[in-house]
Each structure stands twice: as C-alpha cells, then as structure tokens.
Amino acid sequence: MKVRIFSILFVIALFFSGCVVFSFYPLYTEKDLFENDLLTGAWIDDDETIWNFEHPLRDKKDPDSSDKTSYRLKLNYKDSEQDENAVFDVRVIKLEGHYFLDFYLEEYGDDDTGLAEFHLIPVHTFAKVEFSDNKVFINWFDQDWLEKLIKQNKIRIHHENNGDFILLTAKPEELQKFVTKYVNSDEAFENGLDVVLVRE
C-alpha cells in the first residue's frame, strides 16, 4: 500500500489504520540503540511526500548536543513550505543482521482537538528497513496477518484484541523474537504499509 500524506488527520489515520501492527512497548531497549546517520536528511516517496529525519537535541540550548540514537521525523509535500504538525520519534535497531525502525507519534499538532484529543493514545509501530544506495525500503508488519496467526494459534505473543484491532503488549525482548522470526516471511508484509524513499 503506497501512501500520500497530506494532512495531520491522514498521518494519524495512516499509522492507526489496519495496515500496521501496534505495540504498547517499543521494539528496543536502551542497550539496542546505537549512534547512526543512516536516515539523516530529506527523502522523498513516490507521492512526492518529503520525509525529513533529523537528530533531536538533548539540550535545546546546545546545538552540538544531538542524540544520534534517535530521529525526529516530519513529513511535508515537496511543493509545500510548511511541515505537517505530526512529529514521530524514530529509532533504528539491528537484530540478527536485519535493521528495523520503531515509530512513535510524539506530537500530533497544536490545534485544540477537543474530545478527540482524549481518545488518541500514541503507540509504537515497527517495520523492517533495507538500505540500498540512495534508497530506503520500509515495510511495516501487516495487522491482518498477525490477527490470522493469533486466531489459528500459530503464535503466542502477549496482546489485547478489542475486536477492531490488536495491540501487542509484549515487552521489547518478546517483540524482538517475534520480528526476527518473521522478518523473511513474505506473508508478514504482504498487505502491510510499505514505502520506498529516495534521498533528495
């Protein structure tokens, strides 16, 4: 499923849609994080949405205090001068020779959303990522595939199911076993969200 991100509401809907697997806990622990510049800079997808990855500052008053284990992701149109209000915290981790990304919706806008604001609970989503020349291939795990495995008792992982979607409640160590077990499964990503980014 290719994406075109054109508003804050769409960004939130995208990452809270049925295309991805949600997790209460992150895919990583502090010991899994490492300094890197794998994503630093601006990338563009097929729909001309620009993905801007930058390292956040540990101390906003010190420009040399960047946290190179973390990224702040902002999205905007190629022809737009204004960034979307949504800001994602993105972490890169490496497990058994494979790279993964953990996304967490950190900010979703400055506007007062009223009652809706009380119903937005940020969760983690994670995807496998591959780097090739000046391209990045991101593939999120498919929620429907996960639900099917759970219904068929083919997988045992801590989770909650409210009938609309599944929320994984497994701790990072259990999540890591899950993603490394299925990282080479075509079915795990068949109907999940996927994006190809090219460096600007």
* Extents of the domains making up the chain: 8-199
Q: Judge whether residue 8 has pLDDT over 50.
A: no
The per-residue pLDDT for range 38-66, each reduced to its tens digit, is: 999 999 998 888 999 999 998 888 888 89
Q: What is the mean pLDDT of residues 141-157?
A: 93
Residue 57 DSSP one-character state: B
pTM of the model: 0.86
Strands 166-168, 22-23: pairing is parallel
> Which alpha helices (H) appear in the chain, and where do they start and end?
8-15, 143-151, 172-182
Residue type at position 86: A
pLDDT in the model for residue 80: 63
pLDDT category at 83 given cuts 50, 70, 90 is low
